[in-house]
Amino acid sequence: MTEHTLTVAGVAVDTRHWIGGERVASTETFPDVSPIDGSVLGEISRGTAVEATAAVAAAKASFPAWAATPRAERARILHAIADGVEKRLEELAIVETTDNGALLRSHRRGVMPRVAHNFRFFADWLLKLEHEDFETRGHTNHVSWDPAGPCVLITPWNAPLMLATWKVAPALAAGNTVVLKPAEWTPLTASLLADIAAEAGLPAGVLNVVQGYGSEIGDALTSHPDVRRISFTGSVPTAKRISASAAANLTPLSLELGGKSPLLVFADADLDLAVDLAVEQYDNAGQVCLAATRFLVQESVAEEFTRRFVEKAGQLTQGDPRDEATDIGPNIHPRQLEKIDGFVQRAIAAGARAVIGGHRGDGQYYAPTLLTDVAQDSEIVQEEVFGPVLTLQTFADEDEAVRLANDTRFGLAATVATGDPERAERVTAQLVAGTVWTNCFFVRDLQAPFGGSRHSGVGREGGTWSFDFYCDLKNTVTAPKGWQSHE
């Protein structure tokens, strides 16, 4: 390990920022700690307003040339980045597992392949992005997507590289330049992405990566007058601060925030399927914004559903995420673990019953938990826990199910289990959510709009919706052929 390099499972990671095509060190650092065993992986350059300003300046300087780069060339470079990701897939997987504690098998088989797919999808979508010309009184209307300028992308720790590239790929495809600010708890794969992008031929300054604490560097990024777009995934309180910071410049925002999504299980559902969907909500130790953390089960099947759920959840293995047999890894940080346990202990003190779990494990592990006897207006039902903690409530009929499902300030997702197609159509039409799954979960296609309603977010991204956000849409109106100027 050199002064500015740390090594994770034999993979060297530069700990400095990536600004204007060069590595830049800060005078101060912050520790990067693995949630698996609490070990310090290394010291990371701790950015300030100085590095933030330099990164925006680099993005601004490189913007004209990148914006003018033909679509086909931009797409070629994005495919080359995807090639680089696939070439280093195993390295990215082990580094991210060590950094954020998610399952290595998931990173190998799903997450890192999705990272490459993000670049390939938006590269290909760019080449077919068009709107059919239309006429108005003989005049031709032509819609185009013009690059907007430097973008600040602020990403979370629960799926660091996948969620970063979900933003980086369309922003670059659109012809914009980027300043990426990864979460301070999981900075490593963003650094590796900078290396991969440079090796793929992305021009200097088009992608910049600055590391540090949001409280120290965030405002300098989000309030900068040269920033043309801000995309953020994270908590509602942080989103409010970013919105206030961006307001002075009227900088457009895309915000993907928290969730408190329901899983509605009707008596006519396939209970084995419903239980499988329910147990899946422990994925990534419950650190998934889309997770259906509130089980709403029809009274007549609630007892049987609970029995089967307890049996199925009891088969899960919690432990080292690098082990192929592990189903649930650690939670990200001691502070997050304290938050999770606080939610659970307050709920139990208020009368909730822990059917399973309800306590910490060793280290940064929290036992998979299911709480019943919870009130609709209670904290545990209304607030996002972001850990392996689920609640179960019952309902009598369809109307009550919909009322309970919609009775939160969030609206990110919902899942419905029913054997009646007509009921599915009625219920899904009434649910307040950006995504609704019927008899399935976590089926995601980049062609689809993604985002949340209410406090779960602002805007939609995916497919053309991403280009609508990352571009300035222009309509050019041309008079009929043969027109003459009137001077």
Supply the residues annotated as catalytic: 256, 289
CA dist 31 and 451 (Å) reads 32
Q: Which two tokens stand for residue 219?
A: 């405002």
CA dist 360 and 337 (Å) reads 8
Q: Which two tokens stand for residue 445?
A: 């296609």
Displacement of CA 160 from its chain's centroid (Å): 8
| Contacts made by residues 41-44, CB under 8 angstroms, sequence distance 24+ | 41/6, 41/8, 41/98, 41/99, 41/188, 42/1, 42/6, 42/13, 42/15, 43/6, 43/15, 44/15, 44/184, 44/187, 44/211
Q: Which two tokens stand for residue 20?
A: 């204007």
Count CB-CB contacts under 10 A for residue 346: 13
Backbone angles phi, psi at 6, to 5 degrees: -120, 160
Specify the length of the chain in residues. Answer: 487
234: region left, alpha or beta (phi > 0 left; psi from -120 to 50 alpha): left
CA dist 97 and 368 (Å) reads 20
Q: Which two tokens stand for residue 402?
A: 């919909």
CA dist 94 and 81 (Å) reads 19
Q: 199: exposed, middle or buried (C-beta count within 10 Å: 0-12, 13-18, 19+)?
A: middle
Q: Which two tokens stand for residue 88?
A: 């280093």
If you search the block for the tokens 């396939």, which residue do you land on?
270
CA dist 100 and 97 (Å) reads 5
